[in-house]
Copies of this chain bind each other. A is one copy, B any other.
Amino acid sequence: MSELLKMIRVNQEFLNYIRVLKSSEKGGVIETIEARPTERIIGQRAPIFAVYIVQKGLGKCYLTEDSGKDFIQEFFSEGEIFGEIEMFNNDLSFCAVEALTDMVIFKIKKEHFYELLEQDKKFNRLVLKLLAAKVRYTALRHSFNQSYPIETKLVRLREQVPQLTSLISKTDLANYLGITERSLNRTFNNLRQRELKT
């Protein structure tokens, strides 16, 4: 469970297999692109023509509500895929994806993605698996987020990611937790105070 709730998503197994494919005779369908920090790779409500798999670096997947608030769904890193959700129901993207560090990303065009799904059993199975993991992760996170006070959430994050605040800006952290920066700061202070006393 703790593994599953990691805030920074990775999928080494999938990445490995993409690399295998890339160096096979069919590897031509797998392109490589790069992105610099703050660069937007896909936009919210945009039509999607390819899936993307993170090879290196860190990105965020977030959506902007009508109220103007941003909510971060996931931070993803090595092996995480995005754009695939939209492929299956021909939907517009519900998240924007933006680079936080320099990123290197595999890109597979829609038609080739479909081909792989149909013709490559292992690929198909890995995609099923990763979708299931995303459902599970998203559901558990939602439940956790609703059920505990901010302080508990922060403590958990820090346990997972010791370099938390150096990796991720406070604004992003607040948007990931669905709270304001003010509340985030306050909670950090409370924690610090309490830790000093012991």
Check: A124 CB closer than 8 A to any chain B CB.
yes
Instruction: Tell me the dominant secondary structure on chain A's binding face.
Output: helix
Once A118-B121, A138-B138 are accepted as A-B contacts, the answer to whether A63 and B132 lie under 8 Å apart by CB is: no
> Are A132 and B131 closer than 8 Å at their CB atoms?
yes
**A95 and B144 within 8 A (CB):** no
Asked if A143 is an interface residue, CB under 8 A from chain B, the answer is yes
What 1/0 flags go to A80-123 for Cβ under 8 Å of B?
00001111110100110000000000000000000001100100
Q: Is there an interface contact between B128 and A88, defined as CB atoms closer than 8 Å?
A: yes
Task: Report, as a range, how many residues of chain A touch the other chain.
Answer: 35 or more
Residue of B nearest to A85 (CB): B132
In chain B, what residue has the closest Cβ to A121? B118
User: For the complex, is A187 an interface residue (Cβ under 8 Å from B)?
Assistant: no
The answer to whether B73 touches A132 (Cβ under 8 A) is: no
Contact A143:B89 (CB < 8 A) given known A128-B127, A131-B132, A135-B131? no
Say yes or no for A76: interface residue by CB 8 A criterion.
no
CB–CB A71/B132 < 8 A? no
A135 to B129, CA, bound (A): 13
A158 CB–B CB distance under 8 Å: no
CB distance from A128 to the nearest CB of B (A): 5
Chain B residue contacts of A88, Cβ below 8 A: 128-129, 131-133
Interface residue A36 (Cβ < 8 Å from any Cβ of B): no
With both beta carbons as reference points, the residue of chain B lying nearest to A95 in the complex is identified as B139
Does chain B have a CB within 8 A of A67? yes
Q: Is A186 an interface residue (CB 8 A)?
A: no
Asked if A170 CB lies within 8 Å of chain B CBs, one says: no
Contact of A73 among B84, B89, B127, B139 (CB under 8 A): B139
Given contacts A69-B147, A88-B133, 11 further A-B contacts (CB under 8 A): A63-B139, A63-B140, A85-B135, A86-B132, A89-B132, A118-B121, A127-B128, A131-B135, A138-B138, A141-B142, A145-B146
